[in-house]
Structure formats: structure tokens, C-alpha cells
Amino acid sequence: MDRRTFLKLSSLGGATAALSACDKSGKLRGQMIRFIPEERLVPGVAIWKTSLCRQCCSGCGLEVRVMEGEAVVTRHGQRGLMQMGLAKKLEGNPEHPVNRGKLCARGHAGLQVTYNPDRIRFPLRRTGPRGSGQYRQVGWDEAVTELSTRLGSISSQGKAGSVAFLTRALRDQRGVLVQRFLAAYGAPPAVRFEFFDDAVLRRANYLSFGRYQLPTFDLARANYVISFGADFLSTWNSVVAQNRGYGAMRQGRPGLRGKFVQVEARMSPTGANADEWVYAKPGSEGLLAVSLAQVMLSERLRPAEAAREAGARIEGWTQGLSDYSPEKVQDQTGVAAARIRRLARELAAHRPAVAIVAGVPLAQTNGLANALAVNALNALLDAVENPGGIFFTPRPPLAYLPSVEESSSAKSLAERILNNPVPIEALLVYEANPVFASPATWHVRETLEKIPFIASFGSFIDETSILADLILPDHSHLESWVDHVPESGSTTAVASVAAPAMLPLHHTRAMPDVLLDVAHRLGPKLDPVESALPWKSYQEMLQSAFEPLRNHAGSVKAQKADDFWSQVQQNGGWWSEQSDPPPKAPATAERSATVVKVAQPELDGDARDYPFNFLPYASQQFGDGSHANLPWMQEMPDVISTAMWSTWVEINPRTAERLSIRQGDLVEVRSQHGTLQAPALLAPGIAPDVVAMPVGQGHEQYGRYASGRGANPIKILCARVEPETGALAWAATRVNIRRVGTRGKLVLFGGALRESPRNYRYR
């Protein structure tokens, strides 16, 4: 810098301050235009708005703390400053039946979705080759016109059936809207894809109890909880609701403390809480459950009839399950016969007792049998729809109800997109990332690359949306109308709804409104569209969906339609007063004919070449990987390993010693389908013949915080499935490991702290 420029700069007055406030485009903050505020708030005074969490499928109610602030926003394609209400903190909605004012770590981090620096700020049109990430900004009108023209021309060619909509399980009116749009257009129903999709358990619950639904656990009133592989306090199902119940089960009743037993091969954050942690070979959990039932039957602790239909699904139930005596299964499960007997006696003696199953036992080739075995155990313990047992959340009497998916993600993705004999002409993607969350052997990326037109509603560039030709970015959940019908987590019917908690920051548009816009543009071409989608906006649709609730006894009593609607929004939803159990599906011939033999799983890979069973698991920070772009989640230490910003391979210390692997060494994990490298973490709570890895890192494309960090264990999985549901058996892969270097990137929070329990002594 010469003297002249120095003087010039310093004469600007506070030049350094101004420079640091530079916008990305190089514009000084002070030079930016100021928009007229769209709302007025008192500075420094917080207001609270109800909203809903969309970080997972639980559907917890939120209260958003909104305060006035100054934000750089995009309006009419121009960036400028605006005084506006900004979400500052998320709390649980104290009235909401699912979470009762509580919120989990991932829910809190939902704030960073809205404010994420990598959010797509305006519609994008691809300019470079596919996957290059080269896009140009387009206006909304141009983007919507392109989408509707594409869809219009495909339909006039008579190929409407070759349009696919790929999304996750949508338990809200978005699901209904997408379904109606596709039906009116003439396309098949949406393909729902999630890596951890619970299809096996839903199928089992249908066969055992007549319900295609995940269960709700009444832990608060249970005296004994036995969980088979379910990480229900950290990642699985309605986590906040289950944590609330668990706390009450432990210390909520004076003089009565429930016992918790966890059965698994790798100690999960949930299993770490157990009074008794039981190691069982992965996939043999069903055998253990049936053996527990066998003891109860043979010792006449419980009547065989108690299990009703659920028992009839297990081969040999009426004969007293003599093939499954503890002595016969102890070698297969790895649990000693005496221990099985003791656990069975404890379970029978300390009712209400409840059994939970999820995770690894269901992600096996024998997953359905494992689930049915645990269901039968629950029925035998009289835990179904009884206090301290399992319940099924009733469905609210909304005008339209989102359907619950009956097919597994793997099956629908394979049948409808990957192996579809009719080539897909256009693909619409919303909140799904199958390119990241699928084994390499599925070749999802290669298949998607062949599709002539892909449009994404994503807020971020991820592995799937980078293939899109057109990106129509959605609002964040705090900026849009949100609604939800929880599948589980409550014993009363719940229909949540909330208005936007804040104005949109960027030039984005809500997916349902874009879809309605497209439908109206296609209108004359597609006659049924108008009749199926009569609403002008998503808000209007929600109001008409909630209208019938006014005539039902519930949390909102207002008589007038407008009062009712505003009060429902204020409360964050509507919930029924009493808990009628939902009607059961009628017993069909197909259901009563299903009888399974509980046996050992089949694993992929020869035990000599691949001696370790490889168990990927949902990570506490990232779930299935969709939260890896949030810095709070990256820096939150994993509770078991205390790792931040990392991936790791969990290895038993004795195994590691045998293979000369030390903590932090770089380890190669090799399956028949691929290899990956990650640092070793010596974990005392994992079986010597098992290695485990968290899912969530290893993104190639997912913003600045997640891209190029760690490895993705999903990629090396085998393509084996549970045969009846077609669900991916993600725990059925065998691998080998070897040390390849000394310097793996493993950042531990706990390393610097005093880790020995001796340092923290009690009085």
C-alpha cells in the first residue's frame, strides 16, 4: 500500500471497521440499500412465537425467541439491510404433548439451518456440466416457468408416469400436497427415501398388532425396560418424549426406580445408561427374546395366550418354544443360559415391563423375525396398550391425513428409480439425499446422472442436489408454515401447526407454494389438478385441513372458525383430550398366515477374510448425516468418544492391541464392496469381533463445515436386504481392518481433561 492509498483509506474514517463489514460482493455495509421494515418490533424486547421442529420426524413443538435485529436480506433479487424480527433461541413448547417444553441437541441447532452461510439464497439454473456446481442466479418466475414447461411437455408427450418425486417421510400436509399433485399430474406416488427408515419395525407392528406405525413407550410408568439394540435416548424414534419418560422411570416415583437392561454388541449412548448391559451377537437378539419367552412359558410365569396374535407369528409358540430354551440359544446369542433365566424371571416379576427393539437387530437379513420376536415378548408381558407398556399414537381427525409409508426406502428407490424399466424423464427432489446415504453398489449417482431433468427444492448444495439442473430453494422451517402429525411420542392424537416465526432472509420460496404455483400453471392442461388442489397457498390448505378438528373435543375450544384457527396456531397445534387407541387394521389372511422362524442372520463376506461385523450407527450429532453442516453439531462432543469434527472406527482395545493399532492411528476398513480410512478409537464397550462407525460425516458436498470431512461408512455396505420388506440390512456387512498410518484426524474433547474416575471422588 502506498502513502496515497493509506491516506485515502484513513480519511474514510473508521475505514477498518467499515472494511470488516464488507458484504461478499465487496459492497460496504453502509452503502447497502435499506429496505422498509415489513414488521415493527420493540428493540431489545423478546417475543415468543410457536413453531415446529423439522430436524427429525418426531415433530416436537417449538417456542422461538424473536428479537429485533438488522439483517442482510434479499428482496426482489437485491441485497440490502432490513430491521426485522430474528429468531434467537429455540425452546420446547411447554404445551406440546410430544416434548412438553424440552428439546434435544439437534433441535436446538435448527437455528443454524436458517442462518447457515451455505444456504442457497435464490433459485439457480445449472450452467456447467452436471456435478460441477456451476450455477447462475435466476428469478422465481423464470424458475417456476421452466419447471412447469418441462412438466407440461412431458405430460403432453404422454409420459407423465415417468416423473418421479423423491423425498423423505413427510408426516405433514406437504406429504398430502405432493401426493395430490402427483396423482393429478398422472405420476406415481412419491418415492420416500431415508437411510434409517424403520420399515421393518412398521411391518412387524402390522403383523403383530395390526398397525403400520412406530410405537410410543410409556416409560414413566414402567418398572422394567429391556431394549434390544434401540438407541432410544439418543437417536431413535421420538427421542425427547422417550427421554422424558426415562427420567420419570428412574426418579419420578418416590421409592420406586425402574430397571433398565440394554442388549447390544456396541455400547450406544443409550446402552451406557443401563443398569445391566448385556452383550449379544448382532442379529441374535430375536433368539434371546424368544428364549426369554420360553423361560416364562416353561416356568408358567406368564400364560401363553397373553401373547395372542403376536405370539402366533412365531413358529413353535403354541408348543412352548422348546427349540429356544436358554441352553440351546446360549451359544448362538453369546448370553449365558443362567443369565437368560434370571432376566426372564425378573421381567415377569416386575411388570409393567416393556421391551424395545430398533437399530442393529432390525438391519439384518433376519430383521423382521427379530422384531416379531420382541413384539411377541411385549405381548406376553401384557405390555401392549397397557400402562408402562407400548401405545400407538391415534391419528387426528384432520380433513386430509398424510399416509404412512408401508414400503421400505431401499425397495421403493430400487423399484421406482434405480431399476425402473421406464426411464425417468424428470426427477423432483425434496429433503432427500440418496447419493450420500446409499451403498456404492447401488450406483445411485450414476443412475441419477442419466435422468434428463432434475429439480431440487433443497436449501443446500449436497451430493444429490448438485446433480440438479434447477434449484428452487425452500424456506427454512422457521420461515415457513409448518405442520406435523406425529407417528409416535404421544398417547393422544396430535396435529401440530404454526405460522412462520420470522420473515425469510433470502430470496427463497416454500416448496408447497411452488408446487401449487406449478399446478395452477399446468391447470388447463391437467384437468384433475384444479379439483384436487383448490388452494391458493399452503396456508389456505392448512386451514382447511384443520377445520374438521373444531367439532372434536380437544385442546382448542373456540367455536368460530377464525378464532379456532388463530388459537390453534397460537398453541402450536391441536391435541385430543382423551386417548382412544387408534382402530386396528382388520386381520387379513396375509397377516395371519405369516409365521416366522427366528434364526441367525446371514452376513456378507467370508468370516476368515472379513472377521469383523461392521455396524454403522446413527450419530448423536448428525443423525443420518443431514445435520453435518451445522457448526454447533460438528463441535458438540460425541458423548461416548468426546470426538468433535471427526469420524472414527470404534475398536475393542484388545483387538486393537492384537492388530498393533493405537488410538488415533489411521485404519483402513475393507469390505467386499469398498474401502475407507478413518482414525481408530479404542472403545471398551464394543465386542472384540465388531467394529462400528458413526454415520454422518464423509460428505463430498455439503457446505463449508461438512465437505471433505471424514469418511462415509454407508458407501462400503453390502446390498443385502431383509427379504420381506426389502429394507437394507445395513448391519450385515463383514469387514477387515488394518493399520495404515499413525496420523488419523481424531479430535477429542475429553483427551485434555482428567478422565480417571479416581480424580472425581465423592464425599
Partner 1 sequence: MAPAKEQNQKAFRLKRRNWGMAVDEDRCTGCEACVVACHAENNIATVGEEQAARGRAMHWIRIERYYEGTFPDIKVKYQPVLCQQCDNAPCEAVCPTYASYHNAEGLNAQIYNRCIGTRYCANACPYEDRYFNFVNPAWDEPLNLQLNPDVSVRSVGIMEKCTFCIQRIRAAEINAEKEKRQLKDGEFNPACVQSCPTEALVFGDLDDPESRVSRLAKSNRAAKLLPDLGTKPKVTYLRRGSWYDEQNT
Of the residues 159, 250, 308, 328, which one makes contact with partner 1 according to CB under 8 A: 250
Contact status: 72 vs partner 1 (CB under 8 A): yes
Nearer to partner 1, 278 or 735 (CB): 278
How far is it, in rounded angstroms, from Cα 706 to Cα 433? 14
Among 496, 652, 697, 725, binds partner 1 (CB under 8 A): 652
Distance in angstroms (rounded) separating the CA atoms of residues 330 and 327: 5
**Would you count residue 267 as binding partner 1 (CB under 8 A)?**
yes
For residues 598 and 290, is the Cβ–Cβ distance under 8 A? yes
Q: For residues 427-447, b (16+ Cβ closer than 10 Å) or e, as one string? A: bbbbbbbbbbbbbbebebbeb
User: Using the rule CB under 8 A, is 256 a contact of partner 1?
Assistant: yes
Site for partner 1 in 674-693 (CB under 8 A): 684-688
CB of 95 to partner 1, least distance (A): 15
Residue from 34, 89, 536, 557 in contact with partner 1 (CB under 8 A): 89
The strand pair at 61-75 and 78-92 is best described as: antiparallel
State in angstroms the smallest separation of the CB of 652 from partner 1: 6
d(CA 616, CA 632): 22
Interaction mask 268-287, partner 1, x per CB under 8 A:
-xx-xx-x-xxx--------
* Identified binder of partner 1 from the candidate list 639, 672, 707, 724, rule CB under 8 A: 639
Q: Other CB atoms closer than 10 Å to residue 602's CB: what's the count?
A: 12
With CB under 8 A as the contact rule, the residue among 51, 58, 83, 99 that binds partner 1 is: 99
What is the footprint of partner 1 within residues 276-335 (CB under 8 A)?
A: 277-279
- CA–CA distance, 197 with 413 (Å, rounded to integer): 12
Q: What is the pairing mode between strands 276-279 and 78-92?
A: unpaired
Cβ neighbours of residue 437 closer than 8 Å, sequence gap 6 or more:
193, 194, 195, 624, 625, 695, 714
Name the nearest CA neighbour of 380 among 334, 347, 338, 429: 347
Decide if residue 220 touches partner 1 (CB under 8 A).
no
Among candidates 477, 515, 470, which has minimal Cα distance to 499? Answer: 477
Q: How far is the CB of 697 from partner 1 (least distance, A)?
A: 11
Q: How far is the CB of 683 from partner 1 (least distance, A)?
A: 9
- Residues 691-720, one symbol each (x = binds partner 1 by CB under 8 A, - = not), give -------------x----x-----------
Q: Which is nearer to partner 1, 170 or 692 (CB)?
A: 692
Query: What gap in Å lies between CA 460 and CA 121, rounded to an integer?
Result: 9
- Output 245 or 367, the one with its CB closest to partner 1: 245
Q: Which is nearer to partner 1, 593 or 753 (CB)?
A: 753
Q: Which of 514, 456, 559, 428 is nearest to 164 (CA)?
A: 428
What string marks each residue from 463 to 502 as x (binds partner 1 by CB under 8 A) or -?
A: ----------------------------------------
Range 508-547, binding partner 1 (CB under 8 A): none
- Per rule CB under 8 A, count of chain residues that contact partner 1: 91
Binding residues for partner 1 restricted to 25-54, rule: CB under 8 A: 44
Binding-site member from 115, 304, 520, 675 for partner 1 (CB under 8 A)? 115
| Residue 706 and residue 628 in contact, taking contact as beta carbons nearer than 8 Å | yes
Cross-sheet strand order for the sheet of 61-75: 33-34, 78-92, 61-75, 47-52
If the CB atoms of residues 34 and 704 are measured against partner 1, the closer one turns out to be 704
Q: How many contiguous H segments (helices) and E segments (strands) does the chain have?
A: 23, 28
Q: Which is nearer to partner 1, 653 or 674 (CB)?
A: 653
Q: Give, as ranges, the residues between 592 and 621 that touch partner 1 (CB under 8 A).
A: 620
Kindly tell me which of 273 and 567 has the beta carbon lying closer to partner 1: 273
Rounded to whole angstroms, how far apart are CA atoms 648 and 385? 40
Residue from 154, 201, 233, 455 touching partner 1 (CB under 8 A): that is 233
110 versus 396: smaller Cβ distance to partner 1: 110
In angstroms, the Cα distances linking 314 to 147, 162, 170, 311, 721 are 51, 41, 33, 6, 21
Using CB under 8 A, pick the residue from 80, 131, 188, 247 that binds partner 1: 247
Give the HSE-up count for residue 684: Cα atoms under 13 Å, Cβ half-sphere: 2
Least Cβ distance, residue 524 to partner 1 (angstroms): 41
Could you tell me which stretch among 104-112, 185-193, 508-516, 601-609 binds partner 1 (CB under 8 A)? Answer: 104-112
Separation CA 447–CA 357 (nearest Å): 34
What 8-state DSSP symbol labels residue 751? G
Candidates 18, 105, 301, 719: give the one binding partner 1 (CB under 8 A): 105
**Closest CB to partner 1 among 81 and 719?**
81
Stretch that binds partner 1, among 109-117, 295-303, 320-328, 485-493 (CB under 8 A): 109-117
Q: Which candidate, 293, 288, 294, 295, places its Cα nearest to that of 360? A: 288
On whether the CB atoms of residues 169 and 57 are closer than 8 A, the answer is yes
SS3 143: helix
Q: Which of 64, 207, 230, 239 binds partner 1 (CB under 8 A)?
A: 239
From 64-72, 305-313, 451-459, 669-677, span contacting partner 1 (CB under 8 A)? 64-72
The answer to whether 315 and 596 have CB atoms below 8 angstroms apart is: yes
Stretch that binds partner 1, among 88-96, 172-180, 427-435, 668-676 (CB under 8 A): 88-96
Measured in degrees and rounded to the nearest 5, phi and psi for residue 2 equal -85, 175
**Binding-site member from 57, 62, 82, 111 for partner 1 (CB under 8 A):** 111
Rank residues 99 and 393 by Cβ distance to partner 1 and give the closer one.
99
Residue 613 near residue 282 (C-beta atoms within 8 A): yes
The least distance separating partner 1 from the CB of residue 636, rounded to whole angstroms, comes to: 6
The footprint of partner 1 on residues 723-752 (CB under 8 A) is 745, 747, 749-752
